[in-house]
Amino acid sequence: MDVGTSFADCRHGGSPVAPVSLAMGLVTTMVRSSTGPSRSTNIWYGNWAGLNPGAKPILTDWAQSIGNSPYFNINTTYGDTTANVSGAVAYGSSIDVPDSTFGTSLSDSSISSIVSYSVSHGLPTDTNGLYVVLTAQGIAETSGFLTQYRGWHTYGTFISSSLKYSFVGDAGTSSGCSVQFGNIPNGDPSADAMVSVMAHELEETATDPSLNAWTAGTGSWTLTIAASDSAKKGNNSFTVTASGGGVTKLVSGSVRIQ
């Protein structure tokens, strides 16, 4: 059963961010400095080989390189009363799930079912990691993918274990969620967009795994947020760093993050 969800939306441009403070929720359940690296596990859903074969190497390279990168180490400035977030993230493993398993029109509960299926078909149960469901082009997520959000993360119970998982879909090249064409950072507009969202969801999971760690208040209202420096405080604030063009933030391995 899912108990809450944090979304990465498709809107561009910034808005004022209220001062952020630590609420009573744990920040570092996913990864503490004292417990070593967490793991990011990719679940490839759909026809990746046929529809966008070049995206898989880009997204895998990112997952293998994000740990202890300058980009991800921003998150080590966050912590709770126990410890700060660690910059260590290891790429765990992956599994391919054909779209015939749950179809091409998915609900939020379908994403949960894909995680459950993957764990029961060879992926290890990892309470200290993040399972990322990556859907290929042509796969719909009917709760709002490409109209209300680009991705999301949450957690649920699988085989008596509380596991954190995320949805990130391939927006293709015709959506406003694939914002860059022409001088794109890694040569693949949809993969570039996915890298940005994957980074967002991993950071949010590391800094707010239970969706209750941070609050931002102004006047009489208080908003509970999943706080992440680059995901929440200035997402889409890009600078040109790549030779010959390319709008990027920082580099993870050979992959530039939009």
How confident is the model over 163-221, as pLDDT tens digits?
999 999 998 766 666 555 566 778 888 888 898 899 989 988 888 787 776 665 544 33
- The contacts of residue 18 (CB under 8 Å, 6+ apart) are 216, 217, 218, 223
How confident is residue 238, by pLDDT bands cut at 50, 70 and 90? very low
Q: Based on the number of CB atoms within 10 Å of its own CB, is 152 exposed (0-12), middle (13-18) or buried (19 or more)?
A: buried
Contact 109, 115 (CB under 8 A): no
Inter-residue contact 30 to 226 (CB < 8 Å)? no
Average pLDDT, integer, range 94-113:
97
Tell whether the model's pLDDT for residue 110 goes beyond 70.
Answer: yes
pLDDT of 34 above 70: no
> In this structure, what token pair is assigned to residue 230?
């680059």
Q: How confident is the model at residue 26 (pLDDT cuts 50, 70, 90)?
A: very low
pLDDT digits (tens, 9 = 90+) for 123-174: 999 888 899 999 999 999 999 998 888 899 999 999 899 999 999 999 876 6
Nearest by Cα to 66 from 226, 231, 184, 220 = 231
Q: Is the pLDDT of residue 115 over 60?
A: yes
Interval 198-212: pLDDT, tens: 998 998 888 878 777
Question: Against a cut of 0.85, is the pTM above it?
Answer: no
Res 174: pLDDT: 61
pLDDT value of position 228: 35
CA–CA distance, 6 with 197 (Å, rounded to integer): 12
CB-based contacts of 219: which residues, under 8 Å, 6+ apart? none
- Per-residue pLDDT band for 82 (boundaries 50, 70, 90) equals confident
What is the predicted pLDDT for the residue at 257? 53
- Pick from 23-27, 60-64, 188-192 the range whose average pLDDT is largest: 60-64
Q: What is the mean pLDDT of residues 46-58?
A: 93
pLDDT of residue 146: 86
Most confident residue range from 19-33, 116-130, 237-251: 116-130
* pLDDT for res 9: 56
